[in-house]
Amino acid sequence: MTLHINRLPLVAMLSLLAVATTGCNAVPLYQYRQSQFQTLSMYRQQQAMAGQLANASQTAAQLAMEKQQFEQMAAQTQQELQIANERLANLGAERQELHARYSNLLTGLSSGENPLSSGATKRFEELARKYPEFEFDPYTGVSKFTGDLLFSTGSSEVRTDAHPVLQEFARIMNDPEAQQFNILVVGHTDDQPVKKATTRSKHANNWELSAHRATSVVGALGKQGLAEHRMGIAGYSKYQPIAANSDDSSRQRNRRVEIYILAPDAKIASNVGAAPYF
């Protein structure tokens, strides 16, 4: 809003005042001077107010421009935040879908029949008797490395004393009776979160720890002569426990690596080496 002030030149105002003082009754000189001073003061106040009004108008225009810029930035930020939230939601949905698919896959594998021959099954049973922390189910053909046989707490590096059992496992799988089979190596953890900074620097959470352990077992078996294209990996974090995670003993059982023997016609056996992990 613009305030219009009628500006009367000082000379004209003084002239009018001088005319007003002439006439029948002359105004005393001191009153005339006093009127001049008042008029001059009013003029200066008027000029100051006009300057203040101009400055206020300029400031208001600048603030309006800044407000418009902030509103544009806020709208852009809101749009970027919405896009980021949508991407997170999509990634979450994809992860849930993968988890469901692998849950169904492993459930089907564990409920199937042992595809191994009687000779290979017998050799795995002998291996289990030799290493108490290695378990073998003759009905399903599933092998389990339980407890801390393979890894130290929070580590994905295969322990030195675990190499002999892995070497014998690879030897059995390379035997003519088992050469046609592939394997899926699955890592599991207990329910304790990753806390140590040294562990977090390599495994941000139990998802990564379980997957990294499965990867390490595949690498160790590969060094023992088991062809890499016959192997696949998966990591299940803490979400497939076999005990209640109520004490150290049960948590030790949940920290395990399982190896599934896959028949040649299994759904993922044709390209088991490309099986993803998460």
**Residue with structure tokens 């935040």?**
81
Dihedral of the alpha carbons of 206, 186, 252, 110, in degrees to the nearest 10: 130
pLDDT band at 268 (very low <50, low <70, confident <90, very high): low
Domain boundaries, the chain: 27-98, 112-274
Question: What per-residue string of b and e applies to 21-42 under the rule 16 or more CB within 10 Å gives b?
Answer: eeeeeeeeeeeeeebeeebeee
Q: Rounded to whole angstroms, how far apart are CA atoms 271 and 20? A: 112
pLDDT band at 270 (very low <50, low <70, confident <90, very high): very low
Domain 112-274 superfamily per CATH: OmpA-like domain (3.30.1330.60)
pLDDT digits (tens, 9 = 90+) for 195-239: 888 888 999 999 999 999 999 999 999 999 999 999 999 999 999
Mean pLDDT (the chain, rounded): 81
- Paired strand residues for 146: none
Inter-CA distances, 12 with 9, 16, 105, 189, Å: 5, 6, 101, 97
- Paired strand residues for 235: 187
pLDDT digits (tens, 9 = 90+) for 151-180: 988 899 999 999 999 999 999 999 999 999
pLDDT digits (tens, 9 = 90+) for 63-85: 888 888 888 888 888 888 888 88
What pLDDT score does 98 carry? 60
Amino acid at 17: L
| Contact (Cβ atoms closer than 8 angstroms) between residue 232 and residue 268 | yes
